[in-house]
Amino acid sequence: MFRKYLLISILLTTLLFCGCGVDIHQVNVPEASVVYDINGRPIKGLAEENRISIGFEEIPDSFKAAIIAVEDKNFYEHHGVDISGILRAFVLNIKAGKITAGGSTITQQTAKTLFLSNERTWPRKIKELFYALELERSYSKDEILTMYCNTIYFGHGAYGLEVAARTFFNKNAQDLTAEESALLAGLPNAPSLYDPYINPEKAKARQGLVLQRMVEEGYISENDREAIISRELKYQQADYVLGEAPYFIAMVRDYLSKKYGERMVYQGGMKIYTTLDLDMQKAANRAYKEGMKEREADVQAALVALDATNGHIRALIGGRDFASSNYNRVFSERQPGSTFKPFLYSLAIEWGLTEAYMMKCEKVEFKLPTGDTYEPNDYGDEKYHWKEFTIKEALMISDNVIAVRVNDMLGAQHVADHAEKFGFKGIQPILSLPLGSKEVTPLDMAAAYNVFANQGIYSEPIYVLKVVDQDGKVLEESRTTQRQVISPENAYIVSDMLKGVMGPGGTGANLQKTVGRTAAGKTGTTDDFNDAWFVGFTPQLCCAVWVGYDQGRNVNLVGSVAAGPIWANFIRDASVSLPDLDFEKPANVNLINVCLDTGLISSESCPRRSRMAFIEGTEPKEICYYHTFNLDWLLKDAATP
């Protein structure tokens, strides 16, 4: 008994002591965090998080009853604090040696949200009591309840009832039905646990508990409860003003929420410095809109662009419409089709093959370990070309048979191992590997191609550079992680082959005019036409675009038609302020004109020629004899020193 009196006197003394000198009008109003782009411009989204205050009249009676029944049944009777509840909590906390139990009234919770940080310390807990008493003295019960409804957190970034109503039921608070009010009133207690989008059963059970309390407190009858609980809840998110980069902002928010908690992210006044470039993001949005305007409503697309020099994510689009589907498809695993071929040819170059190496596209049978046979063939009407190509042209026209033959020649295990150097995981050493048998994400693809753009260096993609708290303290800072995975010569030669894709005869030839600057890239279309890709780069910027259905339905479009134009329009617009650079040629690489029909040094008589890159000493030694038997020409050439 003595102990209890001692506790009460300690509590009251501290309460009075802490109360001295605290001014209720100096409120520490929660401050939204701001996300900045690479140039320090705020990215719309997190800062403009809908924070909509409504008046007492707009809060439906059903919600008032529900929230009071479940959070603070004596709200209209007490003086801001529930003394017996506090004492109970106090004793429990003393026993536990730390603050665990709450015993918070609606007034205390409002005080906490409005004036205090989220830490659980004794002085903070006592200040909360003081502020609660002050609130009760300065405001009416209805005003306090209104403040409470406008500030409590319901999950999914929704602070306040109005935003919650829009977030979960796509309507205004005043239009909420009794079942919706009861559902929402259950959320503030544990927003993540009862998240209706993630745990609909738990949310429903919590609604049941709220309704039970409402019966106990006489707000509704048992019959009402049964009627209300039987009604179906339809969750739907409203269209917000989402800003220029909703998927990027969501990615940043999810990352930070996991690390620091949602309250800190939404109300902690953090400054979040990211890698996004708003101008490039706008270019991406325009290219995306233009490229998708003819597509059916449920065809999706993802775009991600990286700075070639450091792996910074400069632009990102995760889908068609964030409001209807916030799933970020930049992280979606899809079959890459022929966009996987460059990794094969990179190993071929590493093993001493040259761009001019000739191989025949013809019917070939491979015996598989299973006893089956595998016969690769090209897309389109003709299964085979029945002729020889240089491997540069094989990549330019995206020949499947030659890719599989080269894979067989190098050994699929070696090719798989080589591909994993570019950041991929779990590549199976199978013959169809270069045709894109392993599903990969658009982000992985952009990071992998970035190796070619940046002289053989792999850069880990990053998007948050620095996080600073309200007081200016740096909470974290990221730097680029890089490793050399292929030689600069190899990167240059593969880039040269991929430049060929954009040239006459290449599968991306229709895009070069749009891009209007030095660029390299590759189309990809899966066997079943479910996925269309274009991945390509300039020396400054690398971008992957994927187009398809979430459920893997046939889009009936090839990469160059569906994904290519989005990529090309983006690269053009995103690069306006960048100089038109060529890839940096290593000193020991020579450029030679080669006859595409023989793989030999071309003469003026060769009808199809291409400039190819060779590591010094690997150049073809002979002039194309097939097209060149003009003695005069040979003599003239020999006479030139």
Catalytic (active-site) positions: 71, 338
Closest CB to Zn ion among 292 and 596?
596
Tokens 């927003």 correspond to 191
Closest CB to Zn ion among 164 and 396?
396
Minimum CB separation of residue 598 from Zn ion in Å reads 5
Tell whether residue 606 is a contact of Zn ion (CB under 5 A): yes
**Total binding residues for Zn ion by CB under 5 A?**
10
Minimum CB separation of residue 363 from Zn ion in Å reads 10
Tell whether residue 574 is a contact of Zn ion (CB under 5 A): no
Tell whether residue 385 is a contact of Zn ion (CB under 5 A): yes
Handedness of CA 112, 115, 121, 127 (dihedral sign): negative
Task: Write out 208-274 in H/E/C secondary structure.
Answer: HHHHHHHHHCCCCCHHHHHHHHHCCCCCECCCCCCCCCHHHHHHHHHHHHHHHCHHHHHHECCEEEE
Instruction: Name the token pair of 378.
Output: 């090209």
Helices 161-169 and 141-151 pack at an angle, to 10 degrees, of: 40
Could you say which residues in the range 339-368 bind Zn ion, by CB under 5 A? 361
- Alpha-carbon distance of 459 to 448, in angstroms, equals 9
Tell whether residue 388 is a contact of Zn ion (CB under 5 A): no
Tell whether residue 439 is a contact of Zn ion (CB under 5 A): no
CB atoms near residue 363 (< 10 Å): 11
Could you say which residues in the range 160-179 bind Zn ion, by CB under 5 A? none
Closest CB to Zn ion among 328 and 610?
610
Closest CB to Zn ion among 461 and 599?
599
Sole binder of Zn ion in the list 406, 501, 595, 613 (CB under 5 A): 595
Tell whether residue 393 is a contact of Zn ion (CB under 5 A): no
Closest CB to Zn ion among 157 and 524?
524
Q: Which stretch binds Zn ion (CB under 5 A): 68-76, 114-122, 376-384, 576-584?
A: 376-384
Q: Which stretch binds Zn ion (CB under 5 A): 192-200, 215-223, 555-563, 589-597?
A: 589-597
Q: Which stretch binds Zn ion (CB under 5 A): 154-162, 178-186, 370-378, 448-456?
A: 370-378
What are the phi and psi torsion angles at 138 (to 5°)?
Answer: -90, -25
Sole binder of Zn ion in the list 399, 444, 489, 531 (CB under 5 A): 399
Minimum CB separation of residue 401 from Zn ion in Å reads 5
Tell whether residue 627 is a contact of Zn ion (CB under 5 A): yes
Tokens 């300039």 correspond to 538
Instruction: Name the token pair of 220.
Output: 């509704």
Q: Which stretch binds Zn ion (CB under 5 A): 34-42, 61-69, 271-279, 381-389?
A: 381-389
- Do the Cβ atoms of 618 and 588 come closer than 8 Å? no
What distance lies between CA 293 and its chain's CA centroid? 22
Sole binder of Zn ion in the list 378, 388, 439, 527 (CB under 5 A): 378
Q: Which stretch binds Zn ion (CB under 5 A): 90-98, 407-415, 520-528, 619-627?
A: 619-627
What are the phi and psi torsion angles at 128 (to 5°)?
Answer: -55, -45
Minimum CB separation of residue 629 from Zn ion in Å reads 11
Element at 18 (helix H, strand E): helix 2-19
What are the phi and psi torsion angles at 367 (to 5°)?
Answer: -85, 125
Tell whether residue 405 is a contact of Zn ion (CB under 5 A): no
- Residue 345 contacts by C-beta under 8 Å, 6 or more apart in sequence? 391, 395, 406, 494, 497
For 533-570, the DSSP string reads EEEEE-SSEEEEEEEE-TT-------HHHHTHHHHHHH
Could you say which residues in the range 88-147 bind Zn ion, by CB under 5 A? none
Residues that bind Zn ion (CB under 5 A): 361, 378, 385, 399, 401, 595, 598, 606, 624, 627
